[in-house]
Structure 1
Amino acid sequence: MTSRMLKSLRLPLAAALAAAALALTACSGGSSAPSDSNAASGGDDLGLMTPGTLVVGMNLQYKPEMYLDDSGNPTGYDVDLLNAMADDLGVKLDIQNLDFNGLIPGLQSKQFDIVSVGLGATDERKKVIDFSRGYVPYATVLAASPNSTRGTNVDDYNQAGVTITALQGSTSEQLIRDTFPNATVATFPDQNAALLEVATGRADATVVEDYILAEFDRSNPNQVKPLDTDDPLALYYGSYGVQKGNTKLTDAVDAFLCKAQNDGTLEKLYTKWMAPTMPAMPEGC
């Protein structure tokens, strides 16, 4: 919700999904002893549409970052972090779940206070909405079958006759075209299909975000593994989208994220939900 680096787009998280719009509400417990004036006023000073309630637009289809559990309740990395944020700000949390393509227009039309779907803060998007600092790292990696003998370097796969898969329309697809111009790109409308193509030996490698690969590995252990390169192919950070001009809310969210980054909350939640190791987060806190 799909790094992490060149995303004028959104990885898997930016691929348009045809999801039926539905709304559901999840309330976090308000802080019993608010620590700042915003929390003390129940969000009155944050420019919220409804004082005391943080309305968040999401697309709950990106396991493990944000999805619906077997009981139909929102869960995942983003949901845990939003509950911690709501508690810190002293507000209730109201999650609205709808199709990805409706999130930014919904934020513009003031259906939500923020959007939580790991958006890349592109120049084009900055024209219509504001962004928080990054809250989730997206590391894009090159992965292949554990039995591959081709090698571990980019040059080993940037060759004619090599097929590399990606999710259709994703950041990863463009990254392959830029990084592996001599290879053949095979795209699929479903992320698992792109991974299975490598697992079954019909393709040589795939370019995918690390947390998606980790989730695939839970269900298909030792079928596709990241190559042991020194650095990810790309690294970028997903941010919260905020209504244009609401600097009070943006500043409050940034303050919470810095606190969560410094006290280890971000890393704890990331390693719980996303991947075994959390990439470095942006400095500046």
Structure 2
Amino acid sequence: MAAAVIAAVGLVSTQAVAEDAFERMLSEKTLRIGWIMSPPGSQKDPITQELKGYYIDIISFVLKQVNVEPEFIETQWSTFVAGLQAKQFDIVAAGTFASIPRAASVAFTSPIFYLGYDATVRAGDDRFKSLDDIDQEGVTVAVVQGTGGHEFVKRTFSKANIVALSTNDLSSSLIAVQSGRADVAVEDAWATRRYIQTHPELVSLFSNTPYNLQPIAWATRYEDRDLREFLNTALEWMRINGKIEEFVKQYPASGRYVLSPTYHAVE
């Protein structure tokens, strides 16, 4: 009986090790990576179907150092947490805001950089000078469902009408303003700047002072500590050696981001 119990415990232990994402990555020489369409960070060439973008470049560079091939699996802003928990992939290498609500479900790597949010209106619409001006009855705010911006407006706005768009396209909220279906679009400063550069009929409200600054990090499962430690070490090496900036600056319209946050002092 004792021998059977010991054997059973050994079997469970062996299975646990076999299911560890980091050990599997090293033994199988591949890592399943969730990615989300979000130019210029990650996108698919419509002709060649090749993936490109600085998030794609960064994770590919990291894995190349240990002779591991990336297996990219497309996901969405509104479903990437569920996909990660269901083990459809082992990491989500996208421009995900490491927010408190998300941290209740997934564990994040150390920040890649920090990014804030912006608000966009139609040119000539002078009603809005602050976030308080936006949060008014009769004002419609468009945001992409499942994004950090969606979390922000739900948490911050109590009077405005919030329209959450079920899509992966971060420009959808700006298109809603452009077409008159919404008064204000809330999106990260990066996506906002990229879009309005070619659409002068829209103007940014906070381009020089993005608000709600948050860390951009990659999502993993809490139990995959070894994988997360490996990624943290790799990202730290890339930060101090300028590799992250090197990859980011290869793409135009990169927008405003910072490598180190500015903390608010307590009076």
Same fold (TM over 0.5): yes
Aligned length: 236
- Give the match for residue 184 of structure 1: 161
Q: Is the 8 A contact 1:271 1:277 kept in 2?
A: no
Query: 1:49 — aligned with what?
Result: 25
Distance 1:122 1:213, change over 3 A: closer
Q: How far off is 1:126 after superposition?
A: 5.5
Give the counterpart of 2:51 among 41, 49, 74: 74
Q: Which residue of 2 aligns with 1:279?
A: 258
Alpha-carbon distance in structure 2 between the residues aligned to 1:228 and 1:154: 10
2:262 aligned with 1:263: no
Query: Structure 1 stretch 96-105 or stretch 177-186: which is displaced more?
Result: 96-105
Q: Which amino acid aligns with 2:192?
A: L
Aligned position for 2:136: 159
1:72 deviates by 0.9
Match runs of 1:81-160 below 5 Å: 81-87=58-64, 89-100=65-76, 107=84, 112-121=89-98, 130-160=107-137
User: Structure 1-normalised TM-score?
Assistant: 0.67
Q: Which structure: larger Rg?
A: 2
- List 4+ stretches of structure 1 deviating above 6 A: none
Which sections of structure 1, spanning at least 5 residues, go unmatched?
1-45
Q: Against the structure 1 CA distance between its residues 86 and 172, is the aligned structure 2 distance closer, same or farther, given a 3 Å change threshold?
A: same
Q: SS where residue 235 of structure 2 aligns?
A: helix
Aligned CA-pair RMSD: 3.3
Give the stretch that moved more between structures: 169-178 or 152-161: 169-178
Kept in 1, the 8 Å contact 2:108–2:219? The answer is yes
For structure 2, list consecutive stretches of 5 or more residues without a partner in the other structure: 1-21, 263-267
Match of 1:4 in 2: none
Alpha-carbon separation, structure 1, partners of 2:132 and 2:106: 39
Match of 1:248 in 2: 226
Name the CA shift for 1:207/1:123 in 2 (closer, same or farther; >3 Å): closer
> How big is each residue's C-alpha offset from its partner over 1:191-247, in whole Å with a ceiling of 9 and x where there is no partner?
5443123224453321111222233235x4223232137642312223223454443
Say whether the 8 Å CA contact 1:267–1:278 is kept in structure 2: no
Identity of aligned residues (%): 19
Whether the 8 Å contact between 2:75 and 2:83 is mirrored in structure 1 is no
TM-score by length of 2: 0.71
User: Aligned partners of 1:157 and 1:123: how far apart in 2?
Assistant: 24
**What is the CA distance between 1:67 and its match in structure 2?**
1.9
